[in-house]
């Protein structure tokens, strides 16, 4: 189908305005994402309804810890991505077209079928995840609109590289997002992701201004983005530009895809980063990919009580009523 958010140029070129690469694409070529193609001056999406992955997940897997905890989320993806992360954890689908000569795979699913499956599964939300949802924006938009009408929430798990036009377009139907803030140095984004930091920061601030509920995730890669000063800058950005109530997930790296020469992140590094976030003034800082550590729990920032207990993606005891800590009455930020 014809893509959303593009403009025709001379000589049958087109400019895609969906993500911040803003690719100018010649006739017969594809954009950086490898799933949007210029056909005689008309930009086409090649992945509409081509669902490569669909699962019912706990919302905690996104990860979202302050958004409908303990609920299920119907999760979908197509192939393709607008980043080229060397540490991509879902490279088999995200990088499929670019790594395999443009091949696109997926089962045919309409937005109506996705929403119906979410309803059957007792899911309170639909998550557009596993790869970058911006590259299957048309499918995500049409599905989110239908889900919204049915009272089902919509979640983007995203690298934050969509344009303001795309975000404003889906904003009426987008309830929450987990945004990867992969580092706080442009060199890292350029060399490891083929992207620019400034566009992600702009998206985060725009999401905040649009009242989209946001949680932030940073994958800590040893020797590349684990510098204390950088983590302090990153945590300070979240606090000052997003608000101290914004949850920050610090995730453990494991060698994968094209970054096999690094060891897994030491747990002590995650603990150090969590302490940095708390010392900067963030209320909720989590350590991920290390099941059983106390950094998975939600603590009341006022009295220290564990208000939501977790093990991996499972929710245990909740000591919170009407969004407030049962011990001291402090308001715990989130969408409950």
Q: How far apart are the C-alpha atoms of 23 and 55, rounded to whole Å?
A: 31
Q: Looking at the structure, do residues 244 and 327 belong to the same domain, yes or no?
A: no
Q: Looking at the structure, do residues 332 and 221 belong to the same domain, yes or no?
A: no
Q: How far apart are the C-alpha atoms of 70 and 60, rounded to whole Å?
A: 7
Residue 98 is assigned to a structural domain of this protein:
yes
Q: Looking at the structure, do residues 33 and 135 belong to the same domain, yes or no?
A: no
**pLDDT value at position 232?**
98
Q: Looking at the structure, do residues 155 and 32 belong to the same domain, yes or no?
A: no
Residues of the chain with pLDDT under 50: none
Residue 14 is assigned to a structural domain of this protein:
yes
Contact between 114 and 142 under an 8 Å Cβ cutoff? The reply is no
Q: Looking at the structure, do residues 145 and 215 belong to the same domain, yes or no?
A: no
Residue 1 is assigned to a structural domain of this protein:
no
- Examine the fold and report which residue of 121, 151, 180 is the final residue of a domain before the chain moves on: 180
Domain total of the chain = 4
SS3 183: coil
**pLDDT value at position 230?**
98
Rg (CA), the chain: 20
Q: Looking at the structure, do residues 89 and 156 belong to the same domain, yes or no?
A: yes
Contact between 169 and 142 under an 8 Å Cβ cutoff? The reply is no
**pLDDT value at position 293?**
86
**pLDDT value at position 236?**
98
**pLDDT value at position 54?**
97
**pLDDT value at position 45?**
98
**pLDDT value at position 2?**
96
Q: Looking at the structure, do residues 109 and 198 belong to the same domain, yes or no?
A: no
Q: Looking at the structure, do residues 323 and 226 belong to the same domain, yes or no?
A: no
Domain at 65, CATH number: 3.20.20.70
Tokens 């987990």 correspond to 178
Give the structural domain span for 54. Answer: 47-180
This prediction's pTM: 0.97
């Amino acid at each position: 189908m014809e893509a959303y958010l593009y403009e025709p140029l001379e000589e049958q070129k087109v400019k895609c305005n969906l993500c911040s690469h803003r690719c100018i694409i010649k006739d017969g070529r594809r954009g950086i994402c490898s799933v949007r193609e210029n056909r005689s001056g008309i930009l086409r999406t090649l992945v509409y309804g081509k669902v490569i992955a669909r699962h019912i997940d706990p919302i905690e897997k996104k990860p979202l810890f302050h958004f409908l905890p303990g609920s299920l989320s119907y999760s979908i993806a197509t192939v393709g991505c607008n980043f080229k992360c060397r540490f991509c954890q879902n490279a088999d689908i995200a990088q499929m077209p670019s790594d395999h000569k443009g091949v696109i795979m997926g089962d045919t699913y309409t937005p109506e079928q996705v929403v119906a499956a979410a309803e059957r599964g007792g899911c309170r939300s639909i998550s557009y995840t596993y790869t970058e949802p911006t590259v299957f924006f048309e499918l995500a938009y049409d599905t989110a609109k239908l889900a919204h009408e049915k009272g089902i929430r919509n979640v983007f798990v995203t690298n934050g590289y969509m344009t303001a036009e795309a975000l404003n377009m889906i904003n009426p139907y987008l309830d929450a997002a987990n945004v990867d803030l992969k580092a706080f140095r442009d060199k890292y984004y350029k060399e490891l992701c083929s992207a620019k930091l400034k566009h992600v920061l702009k998206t985060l601030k725009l999401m905040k201004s649009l009242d989209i509920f946001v949680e932030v995730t940073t994958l800590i890669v040893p020797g590349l983005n684990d510098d204390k000063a950088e983590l302090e800058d990153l945590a300070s950005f979240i606090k000052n530009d997003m608000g101290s109530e914004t949850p920050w997930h610090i995730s453990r790296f494991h060698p994968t895809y094209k970054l096999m020469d690094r060891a897994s992140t030491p747990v002590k590094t995650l603990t150090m980063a969590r302490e940095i976030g708390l010392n900067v003034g963030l209320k909720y800082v989590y350590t991920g990919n290390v099941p059983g550590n106390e950094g998975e729990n939600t603590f009341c920032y006022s009295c220290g009580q564990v208000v939501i207990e977790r093990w991996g993606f499972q929710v245990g005891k909740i000591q919170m009523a009407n969004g407030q800590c049962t011990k001291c009455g402090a308001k715990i930020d989130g969408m409950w």
